[in-house]
A and B are shown apart, each in its own frame.
Chain A
């Protein structure tokens, strides 16, 4: 490993130095390895923000190779830097500045080495009908100050939206029914007789996986004054609370 990193460090430094000379940043390296047996391996290693600090990339490359070791003796290495123009950012007078992109990239690279590259990133909601589904996406240092434009706010109209405070993981419940109607709900820290309810809203999906879901959601107002979103897991035959409306 070390002899390979020694070589790679030298090559990466050449690439980042050249990019820096042109006043550009490097956001990704493409590494192509050719093996003794004629095989090839191609991989991309990206930084969270464009940088020309070769140490960031060396760290990321090391983490990547540790994660997915190269199988054969290497006879040829080729490295290509994917460049980008540094983007000027208008800082906010009233808000604290974030870390410098290069420093952030470096920190993330170190975190990748410590935790593994597949365990560093940003949790985002997945494109799934399952409400709690999330996925880890690579961290990107973008401006967080994205506010709706006045026009967008106007077109949204006077819509009253309820905020749901989600329980993660969902809370196990006991639900009692009477004559086919929801009657009483009891969970950890809350519970009461059902005053009124709406539903069911059915969600069924991912039938092609080993973990499909089939749920019936209800909004229930309880005598404790709270309005909860609860659901029945049809497959596992149990009730859970998904959240409480603020």
Chain B
């Protein structure tokens, strides 16, 4: 092997070194393949974040990806490469130790840690600023090298040299060469790669500035001196080290010693304790039997056959342990009284239903087990469990940590990447632009789901006040484009937990999450899935928390015990609410698009709700299934089937395929596929399409249909339906699980509105609407909503005599501890006066003012400004002589203020500013007289206007949405004191009014009315922003 053939790049830092590398692992692998390297080593800072992606990409490109990390021992950096499996375990544990003892984002390691975890690692010891061997005048350099050699062994240490054509670096290199000669430690060359191609150096500089919190102009020599830290060919590297050929040859020796790859992680799934003498599958079978008897009462032959089939498949796939672990978690929830419900394809399983993991009867609904699990697929099943968000979900997560140990369980990571807006902010700052135009540009780049050329940075420059021809502005555009999709930092996945038998920290490094008590792995859910690490999703669902909170409120205040699992599924009042689209706050059917479909679909049974949940999804919309289904439902077109054999499959959905299970059954019936093959077909046609795979599977589909006599138009229709629908279809089981929750929430809204809205407000943020909208919706449903009052409000919202009392949690800036103290003191004795409140509640000065501004002290008399005046007059420090007197100061004379009271509009705006909600009049009610004089109608009045009439409406913009499937249309929801009104804006009109439509909070709209099947829209043609001098209502909820 020649020198040029022997060179291996042993040190590549990817963008997963977070602001210290500028290329994705995949880009580094692609460039390495282009340069004809056969091996690449990704060595990220303090972790193996990029290793799975490099491993995947390297596998596809025919390269070998070595694993390693760049770590600092006592603040001095070196690279540790993994030689064997023991080394990988040690590296993971070493990084975990350093991470778990340091603040988030940092890693603190000492020599003792390295000593403990030295086995199986190869150290590349570099020189330079901050590196293990320091700079030329470092007196302790030999000492540190000797220590490393004694810890790792002489064979495991290499002095690493770089040549970036930098004069100062060359002095260090010469010193290192002399040191290597003197100590007998071999040299190894590397290019310390930090970006794939030379042109990526610009991004490296930008990241350096972000990391150093400076601008490019101010960074000076803290930036690299040239663009030489890119991947170079072996020939180039040999030329650079032509005087030190052994340094090049040693790269191959190191690579050959590092035999470990991620193909063998040594991961094992944990098992739970089994009853004596029973194996996992027998135990699972027994539990499923017991559960099925409880669920079904009588086990019919059909149920028996399904259970037996599923148990047999689970047994053959050796997955009983996985089901038992999920059952164990659900069982814990049941014991603790925590609502838990499996979602997703798990609801296709009768075993999951029997075990209590899911709530939908798959046998009764005719769901297809193979959508969940099949022998052909050879993958782990995916069971997601919905839990009430907040403390109860946290309790379940902590149970899992306790059950499997701190080192046996962790959350999966979520890699937060740069998007247009974040990239504009960072690059704008680094290039030294004024903050105001940069913020303006970022605000114009609202990432709606639908994107057109106007959404790109270059097209918004002029609006934001930039000159697009200026060189720095052109740079901004280029850098923002390059920065997008690069990792920004590591977050925590919303609910994915990974478990391991033994130590998870020997499989992947763990690190602390921002949230106390949480530990995350360094990989995201896709990385974990690719490497065969099993994940259980414990997802927090706000609506589950609402249901759980509402049940005791209903019991206490309405005297009714509600059992969510046994609600009557034929309640006419519930279907009446759904048909009228009165669904603000109702799970899954409260979006603008759902509300526009409900009056057309007119659900009148539970299965209609299952359809409704599934139908407003990209699949049915893009596949043009929605309108045929609605027309057939309204009997405007006949129900037909592509082939008579498909009638039993499509009959329930009037001949229109809406669910993934139907697609699978079509393939099974029409082409004779097995369940597993059908699922394989769905995946082949899904998001990660492979053309070769699609062609192969389509040929099988056609030949299967031909064998069954399905040819010509019918065959074409089936193929077309499957290929277009597979991409976006929605599982019926998932829809059914969500429909159960949707029904329960609608039931509570209809029959127990006070408890429903109270629980909604206590669990916000959740759902589509701001609390301000929920409060007004509650009032429209006859719930009296009372304002925040320090003499009776608790931290949470509550119900008093059938009315909803807004809780202190809505006062912005009030600490929960302070509110709890108010509750405690009030329970001891009511507050006699403002002075009494101040003295006993020990509120901070700004908290007192916020309470006064919110009108929460109105019970003591005086208007808000008067109360603020009184508070200012009170002694601020309650521990002083005068402060102590204030505690008994109910008799203190009031300090008269000559301040005028707030006007009603000012009070409403003060409510919004200090609490986000108002229990007084809606902001639009204050403007009504003026609006009426301009011919502006209310939302209620618009409903009575003839189709096509030209109207003016105005309201608070509560929702903005530009769906990807609506060809650039923008939809707004305006709210006024009478309800909500939908506005649709055509793309050309949106373009002309872009800034206004992006930012205005109060909007006046003119345009014609469009009526269709009870759904009313104003087609916006002209717009005007209404501004209020004293403040503004809350911002809209924009859908991205």
Q: Which residues of A contact B (CB under 8 A)?
A: 126-129, 155-157, 159, 200-205, 207-210, 217
B202 touches A205 (CB 8 A): no
Can you name the residue of chain A whose Cβ is closest to the Cβ of B228?
A: A202
Report the bound CA distance from A200 to B165 in whole Å.
6
B166 engages A201 (CB within 8 Å): yes
Known: A155-B139, A156-B137, A200-B165. A127 touches B221 (CB 8 A): yes
Chain B residues packing against A (C-beta within 8 Å) = 136-137, 139, 164-167, 170, 201-202, 205, 216-217, 220-221, 223, 225-228, 431, 471-472, 475
B174 to chain A, nearest CB (A): 12
Question: Which of A155, A203, A209 interacts with B225 by CB under 8 Å?
Answer: A203
Residues of A within 8 A of B139 (CB): 155
- Alpha-carbon distance A205/B170, docked complex (angstroms): 19
Q: For B220, what are the chain A residues with a Cβ–Cβ distance below 8 Å?
A: 126-128
In the assembled complex, the Cα of A217 lies from the Cα of B226 at a distance in Å of 12
**A95 shortest CB reach to chain B, Å:** 30
Q: A128-B220, A157-B137 are in contact. Are A202 and B472 (CB under 8 A)?
A: no
Q: Which residues from chain A contact B205 at a C-beta distance below 8 Å? A: 207
Give the distance in Å from the alpha carbon of A168 to the alpha carbon of B223 in the complex: 25
What would 14 A/B residue contacts be, using CB atoms closer than 8 Å?
Answer: A128-B220, A129-B221, A129-B223, A159-B137, A200-B165, A201-B166, A202-B164, A202-B165, A202-B228, A203-B225, A203-B226, A207-B205, A208-B202, A209-B217
Most chain B CB atoms below 10 A, which of A156, A209, A217: A209
In the complex, given contacts A129-B221, A205-B223, A205-B226, what are 5 additional A-B residue pairs having Cβ atoms less than 8 angstroms apart?
A157-B137, A159-B136, A202-B228, A208-B202, A208-B217
How far apart sit A217 and B167, CA to CA, in the bound complex (Å)?
9
The answer on a CB contact under 8 Å between A204 and B216 is no
> With the chains together, A155 CA to B137 CA distance in Å?
8
How far does the alpha carbon of A127 sit from the alpha carbon of B220 in the complex, in Å? Answer: 5
**Residue on B with the closest CB to A156?**
B137
Residue of A nearest to B198 (CB): A204
Whole-angstrom distance between the Cβ of B206 and the nearest chain A Cβ: 9
Report which residue of B136, B223, B431 has the largest number of chain A beta carbons within 10 angstroms of its beta carbon.
B223
Q: How far is the CA of A204 from the CA of B164 in the complex (A)?
A: 12
CA distance A202 to B139 in the complex (A): 29
- Nearest to B430 among chain A residues (CB) is A208
Other-chain contact of B216, A126, A203, A208, A210 (Cβ < 8 Å): A208
Residues of A within 8 A of B165 (CB): 200-202
Which residues of the partner chain B approach A203 to less than 8 Å between Cβ atoms?
225-226
Given contacts A155-B137, A207-B202, A210-B471, contact A128 B221 (CB under 8 A): yes
Q: Which residues of B contact A155 (CB under 8 A)?
A: 137, 139
Please pick, from A159, A201, A205, A208, the residue contacting B475 in the complex, using a CB distance under 8 A: A208
Q: Identify the closest chain B residue to A154 (Cβ).
A: B139
Cβ of B226 and Cβ of A202 under 8 Å apart? yes
Q: Which residues of A contact B221 (CB under 8 A)?
A: 127-129
Name the distance in Å between A144's Cβ and chain B's nearest Cβ.
25
Q: Given the complex of chains A and B, what is the CA–CA distance between A204 and B223 in angstroms?
A: 11
Q: Are B225 and A129 interface neighbours, CB within 8 A? A: yes
A201 contact set on B, CB distance < 8 A:
165-167, 170
A210 to B167, CA, bound (A): 26
- B309 → chain A, closest Cβ, in Å? 65
Residues of B contacting A129 in the complex (Cβ-Cβ under 8 angstroms): 221, 223, 225
Which of B166, B167, B217, B220 is the most central at the interface, judged by chain A CB atoms within 10 Å of its CB?
A: B167
**Residue among A157, A200, A205, A208 having the largest count of chain B Cβ atoms under 10 Å:** A208
A129 to B228, CA, bound (A): 15
Nearest 8 Cβ contacts at the A-B interface = A127-B220, A202-B165, A202-B226, A201-B167, A204-B226, A129-B225, A208-B216, A204-B227
Chain B residues with CB below 8 A from A128, complex form: 220-221
Q: Which residues of B contact A200 (CB under 8 A)?
A: 165
Q: Which residues of chain A are near B225, meaning CB under 8 Å?
A: 129, 202-205
Q: Give, as a whole number of angstroms, the nearest-CB distance from A84 to chain B.
A: 27
Question: How far apart sit A128 and B220, CA to CA, in the bound complex (Å)?
Answer: 5
B476 nearest CB neighbor, chain A only: A208
Which of B166, B170, B225, B226 has the largest number of chain A CB atoms within 10 A?
B226
Closest Cβ of chain A to B147, distance in Å, is 21
Q: How far is the CB of B514 from chain A (nearest CB, A)?
A: 33
Report yes or no: B472 in contact with A208, Cβ–Cβ below 8 A: yes
CA distance A159 to B164 in the complex (A): 23
| Nearest A-chain residue to B222, judged by Cβ | A127
Chain A min CB distance to B192 (Å): 15
Q: Give every chain A residue within 8 A of B228 (Cβ-Cβ).
A: 202
Report A231 CB to chain B, min CB distance, Å.
Answer: 11
On chain B, the residues within 8 Å of A210 by CB distance are 471
A77 CB, min distance to chain B CBs, angstroms: 28
Name the B residues within 8 Å of A156 (CB-CB).
Answer: 137
**A20–B806 alpha-carbon span in the complex (Å):** 62
User: Using Cβ atoms and an 8 Å threshold, which residues of chain A touch B217?
Assistant: 208-209
Q: Report the separation of the CA atoms of residues A201 and B168 in the bound assembly, to the nearest whole angstrom.
A: 9
Chain A: CB-nearest residue to B431? A208
Complex CA–CA separation, A226 to B136 (angstroms): 27
With the chains together, A207 CA to B225 CA distance in Å? 11
Given the complex of chains A and B, what is the CA–CA distance between A203 and B139 in angstroms?
Answer: 29
Residue of A nearest to B167 (CB): A201
Q: How far is the CA of A156 from the CA of B165 in the complex (A)?
A: 25
